[in-house]
Structure 1
Amino acid sequence: MKMNKIFLSLLIAAGTFSSCTGDWLDTVKEGTPNESNFWKNDADYIKAVTTLYDCYAYEETWGRDLFYEQGAADDIVFGRSRGSSQMNLAKLKMNGSSEGPIKWVYNQMYETMSAANNVIYHALQIPETKRTPIQKRSLGEAYFMRAFTHYMIAYRYGRPDNGVPFVKYEDFTDYAKQINEIPTQQATVMDDYKLIVEDLQKAADHLDWFKNYSTDDYGRATKDAALGYMVKTYAFWAQHDKSQWTKIPALVDRIQNEGGRGLLDSYADVFKADNEWSKEYIWSVSSKGSNYAGSIFPGISLENKGWGVYNGWGYMKPTLELFAEYNDKDVRRGVTIMQYGDSFRYFGEDWKWYSNSDIEVGFAFKKYMEPFSYGKILRDANGKVTGYENSHISTNGDRPTTDLNLPLMRFSELLLFKAEALIMQGQNAAAAEPLNRIATRAHEGINYTNPTMMDLMHQRRCELAFEWTDRLMDLKRWAGSGNADWNKDALAKIKGAKHGIKHVDRTNPNSPIDTTNGQTITVNGKTYQGAIVIGAGQGDPKEYEPGGTYSVLPYEINQVIKSNGKLKQNAGYASNF
């Protein structure tokens, strides 16, 4: 792994995507730098740090490919037929050689980690008293991105008996030689979590709170984000060491009290571009409709071909099981999911939802639809759609970005982690306060006094559905914690079948449910007619054992082979040598 070359290739690519309100990511290619003519001034550090954020904007990461892993959970199905690599993920049949999407993510996280390492190494060559404010901030951003990319690998690949590869350049004794070596694999994932927390603390020490940033720097790493991901790291660490739960509540309180974070009054307002930098913001993929900048996820989840107006991709749809999780009072359901006949605003017009494309499910996700509500549809004299006008979305349907940032962590998730940490310590009554803040905003008609893990799991699912919080790994960590009812419930949700609702006429938003060809089933204590098992094998029950082979991802076979023994494959997967 040629670390210097990785850094330079990222640096040259800077500016391919822009991802914030300010112009700090709009860089210009200026030729190929090298170690001898770089790291001379603030401008060099700004350029170097800018490359670290590129990974968020790729289609192969937070554009869509990471979300293919959620096909194995209970909230989503692939709206269109997918190839064997995606279906292996959905069916929990990975083998280390045929999961195309996760292979690219793995490589990208390590490339970004390497580039962050390089920034840290060079910044630390400057005595602390001589670092400029920009160099100090750059060091904090690099610590954050090294921790974040390390975290993205650790919790998805790491086991208590097998950690993930990681190295710190500042520990090198022979930089020129060691920079080209394969990173050392940690003995356990707990060792990785320890190193991640250390980096996040260093990031927090060098960065300011988001509330103190100017708009020109929105989208940069902050103290809020560093401490927020420390909370999440502790939650995954607590799978193997329950004492880690004790560290979470105070961290969340600090983010709220010192950082000024909180909940918006309206759940629907969270998913409007005007509020993407609100007090609920912790971390997101900053996006723009112009310049194809940021995440294409809103476009890939839009109805395939966008009812003839825009090139939606139709890749992700919600399950009946997710719909049934909400009670009828819960405002989050209408913000998150559309069903037949639901009204929505589309290019300046009032529409009623239906779907006649690809796999029949009977539902669609709504959370990221706001940018598509603006503008107007252009039609000829016969009423045929000829185009559209909408300044909030990309003009390139092959890269359908929008003005709406893609949230990766919101303050509500931190409140949920606080509640979970308290429940896991037997402080159920104390967990009522953060959990009630979530439930009250949802208008569920629920007031907790002594919430249980089942209550926590319900709120986490309803609050964070179709967000990048990793529902599948939540279920895995809950299923693997014991034999209580909530452990069994999480396991059943991993293994269970997934359903949709069939309609008589898919092209009619007012179509009745097809009770002839659909079944009558009970989900979450509610009876639904017209239910169908999701097609293409996605809805079939799965085999899964907590802590077993599929509790983590396999290292790609070629990575294992070319490591020459330095990368140990996870238990249960063949290593091919």
Structure 2
Amino acid sequence: MKKIIFSICLVVSVLAMSGCADFLERESYGKDETWKTKEDVMQAVYGLYHFVSPYWSEEICGRGHMWLECASDNVLIGRDRASVDEIREFRMSPSNDNDVSRVWEVMYQNVAKANNIIKLVPDMSLDGAFKNQALGTALFFRGFSMLWMVPYYGDDTNGGIPIITEKTPTAEIDSPRPSHVLQNYDQIIADFREAGDKLPYFSELPADQIGLPHKAAAWAYAARAALYASAYDAKYYDIVIEMCDKVMGMTGADKRSLYIDSSDKSKSFANLWRKEQNHSSEYIFSLEGSNTNGARYHGVSFVNAGWGLYNTWGYFTPSLELYKAFEEGDTRRDATILAPGQHIQFMGRDILFGGYSPDGTVVSITNRTTAHVSAGMVLRKFMSPWETGSYSEVSSLRDKLWNSLNCCLMRYADVMLMKAEALIWTKGEGNGEAKELLNDIRERAGLPRNSQATKAQLQNERRCELAFEFQPSRFVDVIRWGLAPSLLTTPLHGVISKGQSGQIVTEEVEVYPARTYNPTYNKVFPIPERAFTGTENLTQNKGY
């Protein structure tokens, strides 16, 4: 499937680059009269992956969406960039020129592509099972594309963002925003529900379709949409539980579970992030890894320029606050964060981090020029493809960051955490089933099974388990839990390290001072300026 998606996405990228800038324009995929065969429809289906094509793999699935995470308390900005400072400091302007400005238009293009499939396929002379899969895939990606945007741009103050379906008349595409973001979440949940009805099980996908959505992916994403909606109405927690139960209740070849390394349980979490687990029982939905194309995110956060061994980019680094959130003995901490004095295998070399020189001696890293890049810790969670330096695992172009590890967007641990949260928030702290779910996650991390299933424990487990993963946003979590006024207004810290008497020593430093957070405006971001091309009714979020 990777080669098919790659070739189709190249074509789609060219079309996207040459097309109209109006995000509301809804063009068919190719020409309607060419949609006659199963192969024609499959090309349209694979075209739904254009957001991860080589053209967009940097702006959308590299740095793009993670820029907004810089406003959270998990992330320090690894490289000077004024427009990212705007995001972090809650003063982002609609004209902000970062990659995130492209997400809106690209995801609405995906909505348009999905709508074309949903509109045209039902009347085609194709077998029912194939039509259901095509329609289910289109419904999945319409919901997926909207869920990528809605939490960041819609709320109860400004309303939702435009809802465009296959039934929307052309004359009504430019319509006012929904009055409440729950209208978006209702549409997204409905899309994922219907997708779950139509899609095959993962075990039913042929080998050349591995990577396409399936029932468990649709149900898990419906749970995530309902989880975000529950911030506005607690009744959505019932949907979270319902959808999580669908995933957790699967049996046989489709049974989902936490990955446990049978040879060394203590390395289970670290080894989860290896290509051997790309299609394990824990990975529910991923973007397929490849050394020639695909998401570049895994190398985006690792040290800038990779000591001259490979051009990783160093954009997002962990805060000391995130590091300290892990309990002592939590194996997830060292699997997630590389701290000074630790070793990492990188491009066939053993690197002593904190610093490094070609002859292996410890050198100072305090000669870095800004507080941003002297944070002193980096993300190591996704770096397994770079261990050996083999170009069968990473791009031989040395700066494209394409790699063999799937970019996992939804996994079973997230489903467990979503259900545990719904149980705690609806049935009260100390709920027995929530305890067991959290204890299973804790046990995998090498921690005692002593969770009391409190709200604070759930919040911290979610933070530690999902840190820096591509879509379960810490920023969105903090906002929806109502913790932003306290957690997003305190200073953030890092460490600096230096060689001293043959040892690496560290010192805590304040990287960012306290911020001012306006709970009325800053729970969402400004809609990108480019989104207003071709529309008269779209309104900007208040305060921007």
Residue of structure 1 aligned with 2:83, choices 82, 85, 110: 85
Deviation at 1:182, TM superposition (A): 2.6
Deviation at 1:569, TM superposition (A): 2.0
> How far, CA to CA, are the matches of 1:238 and 1:307 in structure 2?
45
Contact 1:24 1:217 in 2 (8 A): no
Contact 1:347 1:390 in 2 (8 A): no
Contact 1:329 1:445 in 2 (8 A): no
Deviation at 1:270, TM superposition (A): 1.2
> How far, CA to CA, are the matches of 1:317 and 1:196 in structure 2?
32
Give the 3-state SS of the residue equivalent to 1:54 in structure 2: helix
> How far, CA to CA, are the matches of 1:491 and 1:509 in structure 2?
43
**Matching residue's letter, 2:415:** L
The one-character-per-residue Cα deviations of 1:48-92 (angstroms, maximum 9, x if unpaired) are 11111120342111211210111111111111111x322111111
1:315-330 matches, cutoff 5 A? 315-330=315-330
> How far, CA to CA, are the matches of 1:268 and 1:34 in structure 2?
44
Name the CA shift for 1:510/1:307 in 2 (closer, same or farther; >3 Å). farther
Q: Quote the residue 2:112 is aligned against.
A: 114
Name the CA shift for 1:426/1:371 in 2 (closer, same or farther; >3 Å). same
Kindly indicate whether residue 283 of structure 2 is the aligned counterpart of residue 284 of structure 1: no
Name the CA shift for 1:65/1:34 in 2 (closer, same or farther; >3 Å). closer
Contact 2:105 2:531 in 1 (8 A): no
Deviation at 1:132, TM superposition (A): 4.4
Question: Size of the alignment, in residue pairs?
Answer: 498
Residue of structure 1 aligned with 2:135, choices 133, 139, 160: 139
Kindly indicate whether residue 507 of structure 2 is the aligned counterpart of residue 497 of structure 1: no
The one-character-per-residue Cα deviations of 1:82-120 (angstroms, maximum 9, x if unpaired) are 1x3221111111232225333211111111111111111
**Matching residue's letter, 1:71:** C
Consecutive unaligned residues in structure 2, runs of 5 or more: 16-28, 261-267, 356-364
1:396-545 matches, cutoff 5 A? 396-428=397-429, 429-430=431-432, 431-448=434-451, 450-468=452-470, 469-479=472-482, 487=483, 490-505=484-499, 510-513=503-506, 530-534=507-511, 539-545=512-518
The one-character-per-residue Cα deviations of 1:7-28 (angstroms, maximum 9, x if unpaired) are xxxxxxxxxxxxx557455448
Deviation at 1:303, TM superposition (A): 1.6
1:278-427 matches, cutoff 5 A? 278-289=280-291, 291=292, 293-355=293-355, 356=365, 359-375=373-389, 389-427=390-428
Q: Quote the residue 1:519 is aligned against.
A: none
Deviation at 1:475, TM superposition (A): 0.5
Please identify, of 65-74 and 251-260, the stretch whose mean Cα deviation from structure 2 is larger: 251-260
> How far, CA to CA, are the matches of 1:509 and 1:313 in structure 2?
28
Q: Quote the residue 1:245 is aligned against.
A: 237
Consecutive unaligned residues in structure 1, runs of 5 or more: 1-19, 376-388, 480-486, 514-529
Deviation at 1:36, TM superposition (A): 4.5
The one-character-per-residue Cα deviations of 1:145-186 (angstroms, maximum 9, x if unpaired) are 1111112222211112411101112354xxxx549x435522
Deviation at 1:571, TM superposition (A): 2.3
Deviation at 1:225, TM superposition (A): 1.1
Name the CA shift for 1:111/1:29 in 2 (closer, same or farther; >3 Å). closer
Q: Quote the residue 1:235 is aligned against.
A: 227
Q: Quote the residue 1:552 is aligned against.
A: 524
Deviation at 1:414, TM superposition (A): 0.9
**Matching residue's letter, 1:46:** M
1:259-270 matches, cutoff 5 A? 259-265=254-260, 266-270=268-272
Name the CA shift for 1:204/1:343 in 2 (closer, same or farther; >3 Å). same
Name the CA shift for 1:192/1:139 in 2 (closer, same or farther; >3 Å). same
Q: Quote the residue 1:104 is aligned against.
A: 102
Give the 3-state SS of the residue equivalent to 1:425 in structure 2: helix
The one-character-per-residue Cα deviations of 1:160-213 (angstroms, maximum 9, x if unpaired) are 2411101112354xxxx549x435522211111111111111111110121332
Name the CA shift for 1:178/1:42 in 2 (closer, same or farther; >3 Å). farther
Contact 2:4 2:46 in 1 (8 A): no
Give the 3-state SS of the residue equivalent to 2:350 in structure 1: strand
Contact 1:86 1:101 in 2 (8 A): no
Deviation at 1:560, TM superposition (A): 4.2
**Matching residue's letter, 2:274:** K
Q: Quote the residue 1:60 is aligned against.
A: 59
The one-character-per-residue Cα deviations of 1:518-543 (angstroms, maximum 9, x if unpaired) are xxxxxxxxxxxx21122xxxx12211
Name the CA shift for 1:250/1:562 in 2 (closer, same or farther; >3 Å). closer
Please identify, of 157-166 and 551-560, the stretch whose mean Cα deviation from structure 2 is larger: 551-560
Contact 1:340 1:509 in 2 (8 A): no
Kindly indicate whether residue 538 of structure 2 is the aligned counterpart of residue 567 of structure 1: yes
Name the CA shift for 1:287/1:398 in 2 (closer, same or farther; >3 Å). same
> How far, CA to CA, are the matches of 2:77 and 2:153 in structure 1?
23
Residue of structure 1 aligned with 2:154, choices 153, 158, 173: 158
Contact 1:352 1:509 in 2 (8 A): no
Name the CA shift for 1:150/1:29 in 2 (closer, same or farther; >3 Å). closer
Deviation at 1:416, TM superposition (A): 0.5
The one-character-per-residue Cα deviations of 1:290-316 (angstroms, maximum 9, x if unpaired) are x2x111112222221111211111111
Name the CA shift for 1:34/1:464 in 2 (closer, same or farther; >3 Å). closer
**Matching residue's letter, 2:527:** Y
> How far, CA to CA, are the matches of 1:559 and 1:312 in structure 2?
31
Deviation at 1:558, TM superposition (A): 5.2
Name the CA shift for 1:461/1:368 in 2 (closer, same or farther; >3 Å). same
> How far, CA to CA, are the matches of 1:503 and 1:269 in structure 2?
28
Name the CA shift for 1:492/1:120 in 2 (closer, same or farther; >3 Å). same
Contact 1:353 1:509 in 2 (8 A): no
Q: TM-score, normalised by structure 2?
A: 0.86
Give the 3-state SS of the residue equivalent to 1:504 in structure 2: strand
The one-character-per-residue Cα deviations of 1:536-558 (angstroms, maximum 9, x if unpaired) are xxx12211133x11111112345
- How large is the RMSD of aligned CA atoms in angstroms? 2.3
Please identify, of 324-333 and 205-214, the stretch whose mean Cα deviation from structure 2 is larger: 205-214
Kindly indicate whether residue 184 of structure 2 is the aligned counterpart of residue 170 of structure 1: no
Give the 3-state SS of the residue equivalent to 1:261 in structure 2: coil
The one-character-per-residue Cα deviations of 1:437-464 (angstroms, maximum 9, x if unpaired) are 111111122412x311100011001101
Name the CA shift for 1:36/1:80 in 2 (closer, same or farther; >3 Å). closer
Q: Quote the residue 1:218 is aligned against.
A: 210
> How far, CA to CA, are the matches of 2:439 and 2:523 in structure 1?
31
> How far, CA to CA, are the matches of 2:60 and 2:445 in structure 1?
30
Please identify, of 109-118 and 54-63, the stretch whose mean Cα deviation from structure 2 is larger: 54-63
> How far, CA to CA, are the matches of 1:184 and 1:314 in structure 2?
40
